[in-house]
Amino acid sequence: MTSLNVLIAVCLAYVALLFFIAFVAERAGVQGKGGWLLRSPLVYTLSLSIYCTAWTFYGAVGNAARSGLEYVTIYLGPSLVILGWWWILRRLVRIGRSHKVTSIADLISSRFGKSNALAIVVTLMAVVTVTPYIALQLQSVTLSLSIFSAAEQGATPDTIDNDAAAFWIACGLALFTVLFGTRNLNVNERHHGVVIAVAAEAIVKLVALLAVGIFVVWGIAGGLPETLARIDASDLGTWQTSGSRWATLTFLAATAFLCLPRMFQVMVVENADEKHLRIASWAFPLYLMLMSLFVVPIAVIGLEEMPAGSNPDLFVLSLPLSQGREGLAMFSFIGGFSSATSMVIVATLALSTMVSNHVVMPVFLHLRQGGASQSGDVREVVILSRRMSILAIIGFGYIYYQVSGGSGALASIGLISFAGVAQFLPSMLGGIFWRGATRLGALWGLGVGFMLWVFTMLLPSFGAGAVLSAEVFEHGLLGLGMLRPQAMFGIEGMDPIVHAVFWSLLINTLTFAAVSLATFPSPLERLQGAQFVNVFDHSAQTQGWNASVAESEDLMIMAQRILGAQEARSLFSDQARAQGLSGHLPEPTPDFLQLLERELSGSVGAATAHAMISQIVGGSAVSVQDLMAVADESAQMLEYSSQLEAKSKELSQTAAKLQAANTKLMQLSAQKDAFLSQISHELRTPMTSIRAFSEILRDTEGMRPMEKAKYANIIHSEAIRLTRLLDDLLDLSVLENGQVTLNHQTGNLGELLDQAIASAQAGASNPIPIHRRRLNERLLLETDLDRLCQVFINLITNAQKYCAAEDPELHIDVTEKDGAVWVDFIDNGAGIPAEAREMMFEKFSRIGAQDSNGAGLGLAICREIMARLGGDVSYLADAQGTGFRVVLSHSRAVAAQ
Amino acid sequence: MPRKPLPVFLERSSYRKRRVMDALKLLALFGFILWMIPTLWPDGSDPDAAPVSMSHALFYVFGVWFVLIVLSAAFVSRQSGPKEKAGESDAGP
């Protein structure tokens, strides 16, 4: 009889061996030796074998004993996934490497715009789903121990304290994980120790299971034909698996293989070379096939040989033990122990990375204001948070084991866990194949899928009445028949696992797709989406640093904060020596920067390390977020400056207007002064002559009648001039005050012009020749004809008076345009200088000194009249000579038909 | 980055590699179909159907497995032959 103590001693020796292997590998990794082994496809393939846990090792036989060949689906799914590596795995690994992904939470969160909320959700879901699985491993090791103690103690299997055993196993596992998982804080730079230990354990468990199988087939049953005959003759002799379960479980296993955090860790994160996938694509199915090859024979022979009621989950142990093969049984126990420990170690490592990077560190950095930019050593914090996470996760597993009471078939717990992580699948595959997938879609899909999984699978697994009452099972949640945990939407008769997987994944996928279709992603999400989906277009392999400007000293300071002063210094001086330099600081070659980045990535996550180096190296790689921030800022500045520009333009326009107004005011003021002197002059000149001549008439005696008449005429004409001046002033004042009453009549434009010309030229000594086109003047007008005539007279008179040409002539052109009538008066004079045009329609303005007897009111009166008549008079700047245009609006002009 | 346009016709060895790659891609589909055939077998609920014996089932499932492994290993070794060019494996013909 193998004593329990011997068993424990062997166990401890095995663990010590593992520690030794891990330690040697770790040393070799640090010294850069043994790279061929550490980076060989063989080790990669063997490390994938953590898929085969104690559940596989013990549970597969139990499952086969209960339901025949169904257990094999758990291996068929992963085999298909890795056989089809070209479709999904190659893409995942490439994305993982080019984006320096550290976990499945990291993958999903960085695909959807580096959303921390999503990372936290995935992390929490992973913890909830994987914790029962860890509990399962503790349970299987404890159970297997109890077999030995039962054999030793006879009939009482409970003499060994299961709780204490589980507790000590949990402690041992936690110790190993803490020691080798957080030794160098390097997630991206593979855990050599752990990987090698896992590979060694993979060999141990395979050989152990094969040994038991060979013993059973050739040792007990007596050969292959006999075994097959006994299989066919047994209860398991025929195919009994339902098609829906077969298909669903295969699919579920394939999904879990992709989504389990520990599988993601070994498959993607620890992958050293994409080419390893090629070897693994046939080597790993081979491993899985060998692992499952002897399961059915062991189950059948176990059922026959072992007493009724023995636990089929432990046939792998109890069968050799019952045949007195204690050595084989112990080897088998070590195999199971290996399966359990390697799974717990890697799963805990993967989960603790997620918890520490996505939950603990963000919270810590948030609480410590200033975040990572503050100086100080964050390494201790990261190590501590990772170690605490490891302890917490194993602690949770232990508590779950305690609470669940170590009962239930192993396989069902495993399947529950599988279905839980399967909820990541829509978001993960959608994220890497579909650019339209959005963050909200992923959040909703994950959330809904997770809730459904909890409701249809996790809670019912505790049994009716434990968490969900029997009432809920019978009539649905809140009495709604639609919401029965094992018959959603009233569809009964489905196998509970098929039911839960089908509904949770279907609704998860639908929600994910629908919300993605309905929402709009942020720019960062779209960019990341494009990079993930088109990863083969964007990434050659991992991108190298191109840093000639990086400051070695800055890198040193940063590295000290994260790696610790001692290690950073030794790393830097090692590198300097390798580069053949004498100082402590190496040249920042791309190789060195890549190495440094990998060193840093373990403590702050790969993405952060990349960003930190890129900040110091500068230029070569700025994170998208930085770019977006810069773009935002510059867009704001651009907008602000354009606003400023617009304002200053406005201001300068206003200033120009003010200037113009001021100039005009000054001119007006000067004009007024000029007018006052002018008007007094104008009034005084006739007054003086009237006074003088009237005095002569009064005082001179004996004047001849001729002279009297002459003087009286002078007085008369001066008086008329005065009157006219006063009339004009009065007229203008009336027009300006709007007191004028218009007398509308209908008349012909041509006749009106005839009349105006006649008036203007009456009494003129030398009338100006006038050219007209009478055809155009056949227009009927309805307006105040007298006033309009006054305007015409004024303009003709002006031309007559002021045209400076040698042979003056005046053109009067009538044009009808856009319903308005233009009457242009253009002479062949010199035109009006530009500076005078502004003022010429003002009162009392006179152009130059030529106007000797006008009062400067004519044009002002014209303009006022035209304003009253609803038209306009303006100077024609582009005419050949002096030109004025009278515009009559349409309502005043009626076609003369 | 714009990729260099691939030549329309490949030399014989490259062409062969491409087709081996295609075979590799199809292998998983092939395996899936073969392994889903057991869903068509009678599962014991119908007493009239002749049951499939467990030894046959074992031979079938493991036989498929073995064939898939051998084919995959053969394809992979052909595909990643001595003269593999970078980038060649990324695109179809």
Contacts of A168 (CB under 8 A, 6+ apart): none
Contacts of A721 (CB under 8 A, 6+ apart): A686, A853
Taking only residues 243 to 272 of chain A, the set having a beta carbon closer than 8 angstroms to any beta carbon of chain B reads 243-244, 246-247, 250
β-pairing verdict for A487-488 and A483-484: antiparallel
Separation of alpha carbons A735 and A745, rounded Å: 19
Question: What pTM, to 2 d.p., does this model score?
Answer: 0.65
Smallest CA-to-CA distance from A447 within A493, A511, A380, A497 is with A511
pLDDT tens-digit map of A343-375: 888 888 888 888 888 888 777 777 765 444 444
Instruction: Say whether residue A240 is in contact with chain B using an 8 A CB cutoff.
Output: yes
Question: Does residue B8 have a pLDDT over 50?
Answer: yes
Beta-bridged to residue A782, according to DSSP, are A746
Please give the pLDDT value at position B69.
92
Structure tokens at B91: 């695109």
Beta-bridged to residue B3, according to DSSP, are none
Taking only residues 43 to 82 of chain B, the set having a beta carbon closer than 8 angstroms to any beta carbon of chain A reads 43-45, 51-55, 57-58, 61-62, 65-66, 68-70, 72-73, 76, 79-80
Where is pLDDT greater, at A432 or B93?
A432
**Which of B40, B58, B66 to mutate to test binding with chain A, by most A CBs within 10 Å of its CB?**
B58
Question: Does residue A618 have a pLDDT over 80?
Answer: no
Taking only residues 123 to 162 of chain A, the set having a beta carbon closer than 8 angstroms to any beta carbon of chain B reads none
Cβ-based neighbour number of residue A217 at 10 Å: 21
Burial group, residue A534, by CB count within 10 angstroms (0-12, 13-18, 19+): exposed
Tell me how far CA of residue A168 lies from CA of A138, A161, A339, A395, B71, in angstroms: 10, 11, 17, 12, 46
Is B28–A83 a contact, with Cβ atoms under 8 angstroms apart?
Answer: yes
pLDDT tens-digit map of A187-238: 444 577 788 888 888 999 899 999 999 998 888 888 888 888 888 888 777 7
Is A244–B39 a contact, with Cβ atoms under 8 angstroms apart?
Answer: yes
Separation of alpha carbons B75 and A282, rounded Å: 10
Question: Does residue B92 have a pLDDT over 60?
Answer: no
Work out the pLDDT band at A549, boundaries 50, 70, 90: very low
Burial group, residue A651, by CB count within 10 angstroms (0-12, 13-18, 19+): exposed
**Which of B33, B69, B71, B79 to mutate to test binding with chain A, by most A CBs within 10 Å of its CB?**
B69
Separation of alpha carbons A329 and B87, rounded Å: 51
Structure tokens at A377: 């050593």
Instruction: Say whether residue B28 is in contact with chain A using an 8 A CB cutoff.
Output: yes
Instruction: Say whether residue A86 is in contact with chain B using an 8 A CB cutoff.
Output: yes
Is A296–B51 a contact, with Cβ atoms under 8 angstroms apart?
Answer: no
Burial group, residue A834, by CB count within 10 angstroms (0-12, 13-18, 19+): exposed
Contacts of A774 (CB under 8 A, 6+ apart): A750
pLDDT tens-digit map of A746-764: 888 888 888 888 888 877 7
Work out the pLDDT band at A543, boundaries 50, 70, 90: very low
Instruction: Say whether residue B26 is in contact with chain A using an 8 A CB cutoff.
Output: no
Instruction: Say whether residue A88 is in contact with chain B using an 8 A CB cutoff.
Output: no
When CB atoms are compared, the residue of A80, A243, A278 closest to B32 is: A80
Is A80–B31 a contact, with Cβ atoms under 8 angstroms apart?
Answer: yes
Separation of alpha carbons B53 and A794, rounded Å: 126
Mind telling me how many Å the CA of A84 is from chain B's nearest CA?
5
| Set of chain B residues whose Cβ sits within 8 Å of the Cβ of A231 | 54-55, 58
Instruction: Say whether residue B8 is in contact with chain A using an 8 A CB cutoff.
Output: no
pLDDT tens-digit map of A329-343: 888 888 888 888 888
β-pairing verdict for A810-817 and A770-772: parallel
Work out the pLDDT band at A852, boundaries 50, 70, 90: low
| Set of chain A residues whose Cβ sits within 8 Å of the Cβ of B41 | 239, 243
Is B54–A296 a contact, with Cβ atoms under 8 angstroms apart?
Answer: yes
Separation of alpha carbons A50 and A197, rounded Å: 11
**Which of A66, A281, A541 to mutate to test binding with chain B, by most B CBs within 10 Å of its CB?**
A281
Smallest CA-to-CA distance from A322 within A338, A334, A313, A310 is with A310
Output the 3-class SS for A148-202. Answer: HHHHHHCCCCCCCCHHHHHHHHHHHHHHHHHHHHCCCCCCCCCCHHHHHHHHHHH
Question: Does residue A628 have a pLDDT over 80?
Answer: no
Please give the pLDDT value at position A889.
76
pLDDT tens-digit map of A399-418: 888 777 655 545 577 888 88
Question: Does residue B93 have a pLDDT over 50?
Answer: no
Output the 3-class SS for A449-491. Answer: HHHHHHHHHHHHHCCCCCCCCHHHHHHCHHHCCCEECCEECCC
| Set of chain B residues whose Cβ sits within 8 Å of the Cβ of A247 | 36, 39
CA angle A229, A234, A238 (to 5 degrees): 90
When CB atoms are compared, the residue of A237, A243, A278 closest to B53 is: A237
CA A678 to chain centre: 78
**Identity of the residue numbered A132:** P
Is B1–A538 a contact, with Cβ atoms under 8 angstroms apart?
Answer: yes
Taking only residues 498 to 557 of chain A, the set having a beta carbon closer than 8 angstroms to any beta carbon of chain B reads 536-538
Instruction: Say whether residue A226 is in contact with chain B using an 8 A CB cutoff.
Output: no
Question: What is the distance between the terminal CA atoms of chain B, rounded to a whole angstrom?
Answer: 20
Instruction: Say whether residue B34 is in contact with chain A using an 8 A CB cutoff.
Output: no
Could you tell me which chain B residue has the CA closest to the CA of A292? B62
Please give the pLDDT value at position A869.
84
| Set of chain A residues whose Cβ sits within 8 Å of the Cβ of B55 | 228-229, 231-232
Separation of alpha carbons A699 and A465, rounded Å: 144
Using the Cα atoms of residue A570, residue A575, residue A578 and residue A583 in order, give the sign of their dihedral.
negative
Using the Cα atoms of residue A613, residue A614, residue A620 and residue A623 in order, give the sign of their dihedral.
positive
Cβ-based neighbour number of residue A303 at 10 Å: 19
Could you tell me which chain B residue has the CA closest to the CA of A244? B39
Is B68–A296 a contact, with Cβ atoms under 8 angstroms apart?
Answer: no
φ/ψ of residue A815, rounded to 5: -125, 140
When CB atoms are compared, the residue of A232, A237, A285 closest to B68 is: A285
Please give the pLDDT value at position A550.
46
Please give the pLDDT value at position B62.
92
Instruction: Say whether residue B15 is in contact with chain A using an 8 A CB cutoff.
Output: no
| Set of chain A residues whose Cβ sits within 8 Å of the Cβ of B62 | 289, 293
Could you tell me which chain B residue has the CA closest to the CA of A230? B55
Structural contact between residues A368 and A330, judged by C-beta atoms closer than 8 angstroms: no
Is A275–B27 a contact, with Cβ atoms under 8 angstroms apart?
Answer: no
Work out the pLDDT band at B2, boundaries 50, 70, 90: very low
Structural contact between residues A756 and A886, judged by C-beta atoms closer than 8 angstroms: no
Work out the pLDDT band at B91, boundaries 50, 70, 90: very low
β-pairing verdict for A883-888 and A820-827: antiparallel
Please give the pLDDT value at position A77.
92
Could you tell me which chain B residue has the CA closest to the CA of A293? B62
Structural contact between residues A332 and A212, judged by C-beta atoms closer than 8 angstroms: yes
| Set of chain A residues whose Cβ sits within 8 Å of the Cβ of B44 | 238-240
Structure tokens at A568: 């950073």
Is B58–A275 a contact, with Cβ atoms under 8 angstroms apart?
Answer: no
β-pairing verdict for A820-827 and A893-895: unpaired
Where is pLDDT greater, at A295 or A488?
A295
Instruction: Say whether residue A433 is in contact with chain B using an 8 A CB cutoff.
Output: no
pLDDT tens-digit map of A112-156: 877 788 888 999 999 988 888 888 888 888 888 877 776 655 444
Work out the pLDDT band at B87, boundaries 50, 70, 90: very low
φ/ψ of residue A180, rounded to 5: -100, -20
Separation of alpha carbons A471 and A445, rounded Å: 28
Question: Does residue A799 have a pLDDT over 70?
Answer: yes
Please give the pLDDT value at position A161.
65
Could you tell me which chain B residue has the CA closest to the CA of A87? B25
Burial group, residue A884, by CB count within 10 angstroms (0-12, 13-18, 19+): buried
| Set of chain B residues whose Cβ sits within 8 Å of the Cβ of A234 | 54
The ipTM value here is 0.82
Question: Does residue A324 have a pLDDT over 50?
Answer: yes
Is A247–B39 a contact, with Cβ atoms under 8 angstroms apart?
Answer: yes
β-pairing verdict for A893-895 and A779-783: antiparallel
**Average pLDDT over chain A, rounded to an integer:** 80
| Set of chain B residues whose Cβ sits within 8 Å of the Cβ of A297 | none
Cβ-based neighbour number of residue A893 at 10 Å: 20
Could you tell me which chain A residue has the CA closest to the CA of B72? A282
Could you tell me which chain B residue has the CA closest to the CA of A77? B32
Smallest CA-to-CA distance from A107 within A622, A535, A614, A595 is with A535
Question: What is the distance between the terminal CA atoms of chain A, rounded to a whole angstrom?
Answer: 136
Question: Does residue B82 have a pLDDT over 60?
Answer: no
Please give the pLDDT value at position A603.
62
Is B62–A289 a contact, with Cβ atoms under 8 angstroms apart?
Answer: yes
Question: Does residue A176 have a pLDDT over 70?
Answer: yes
Instruction: Say whether residue A493 is in contact with chain B using an 8 A CB cutoff.
Output: no
Cβ-based neighbour number of residue B33 at 10 Å: 10
Structure tokens at A61: 């036989």
**Identity of the residue numbered A780:** L
CA A774 to chain centre: 76
Instruction: Say whether residue A819 is in contact with chain B using an 8 A CB cutoff.
Output: no
| Set of chain A residues whose Cβ sits within 8 Å of the Cβ of B61 | 69, 72, 76
Counting every residue written for chain A, the total comes to 897
| DSSP state for residue A238 in the 8-state scheme | B
pLDDT tens-digit map of A25-78: 877 776 766 666 667 888 888 888 888 888 778 888 888 888 888 889 989 999
